[in-house]
């Protein structure tokens, strides 16, 4: 049996403003923990990833298609998973760089990036908080027992902010369709509705 430190991490591509990443966040964290895998957070810019994959950018999709994907289906999943969702948060659209850089900073500091990322997504989709604002990010850090100043100082560094583009470039190179996407070994799984296949793959590889 492989030791946890010998196992390849699960690559977790997601947008910090993705409702479907929010719906799957707690479950992918649980799967990683139960399988003894590290969850490697790779926040991405969907405005680059989606068209690079060949999909229609969100703003160019028909109103009926957007309503089905982001109202009807989100409501169904919210009810099924018993996870509260605000369908149209006021703060849905906004800066992606700083909150993504905060997640990368927490990860670089070897702190609780799983908990912080879940808090970030929950703040937007359950509580409609402005996750692009430093005060909100500081509050979320404190809730996760992370020093807000340490996190924000690192998040503002060129090193970390460049990582956000590097994650996006890596996603494009690997053919990531959107958010969330999970990669286990050579297997890519797109969507929180594919987490049962992620679990199966992890079970096949590690026997957990």
Question: Residue 1: pLDDT above 50?
Answer: no
CA diameter of the chain:
51
Rounded Cα distance, 24 and 131, in Å = 19
Contact present, 25 and 199 (Cβ < 8 Å):
no
Query: Which tens digits make up the pLDDT trace of 123-178?
Result: 999 999 999 999 999 999 999 999 999 999 999 999 999 999 999 999 999 999 99
Q: What are the boundaries of each domain within the chain? A: 10-206
Q: What's the pLDDT score for residue 57?
A: 83
List the structure tokens of 11: 């690559």
- When the candidates are 3.40.30.10, 3.30.365.10, 3.40.50.720, 3.30.70.890, the CATH number that belongs to 10-206 is 3.40.30.10
Instruction: Output Rg (C-alpha) for the chain, integer angstroms.
Output: 16
Query: Which tens digits make up the pLDDT trace of 95-108?
Result: 999 999 999 999 99
What share of the chain has pLDDT > 70, as a percent? 97
Q: Which of 15, 29, 20 is nearest to 198 (CA)?
A: 29
Q: What's the pLDDT score for residue 61?
A: 87
Beta strand pairing call for 187-190 and 181-184? antiparallel
């Amino acid at each position: 049996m492989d030791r946890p430190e010998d196992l390849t991490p699960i690559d977790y591509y997601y947008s910090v403003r993705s409702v479907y990443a929010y719906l799957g966040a707690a479950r992918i964290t649980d799967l990683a923990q139960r399988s003894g895998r590290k969850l490697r957070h790779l926040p991405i810019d969907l405005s680059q990833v989606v068209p690079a994959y060949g999909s229609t950018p969100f703003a160019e999709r028909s109103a009926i298609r957007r309503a089905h994907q982001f109202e009807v289906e989100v409501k169904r999943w919210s009810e099924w998973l018993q996870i509260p969702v605000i369908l149209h948060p006021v703060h849905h659209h906004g800066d992606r760089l700083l909150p993504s850089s905060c997640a990368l900073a927490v990860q670089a500091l070897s702190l609780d990036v799983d908990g912080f990322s879940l808090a970030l997504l929950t703040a937007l989709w359950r509580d409609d908080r402005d996750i692009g604002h430093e005060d909100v990010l500081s509050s979320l850090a404190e809730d996760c027992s992370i020093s807000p100043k340490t996190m924000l100082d690192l998040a503002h560094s060129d090193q970390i902010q460049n990582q956000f583009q590097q994650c996006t470039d890596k996603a494009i190179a690997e053919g990531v369709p959107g958010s969330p996407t999970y990669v286990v070994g050579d297997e890519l799984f797109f969507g929180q509705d594919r987490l049962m296949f992620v679990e199966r793959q992890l079970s096949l590889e590690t026997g957990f």
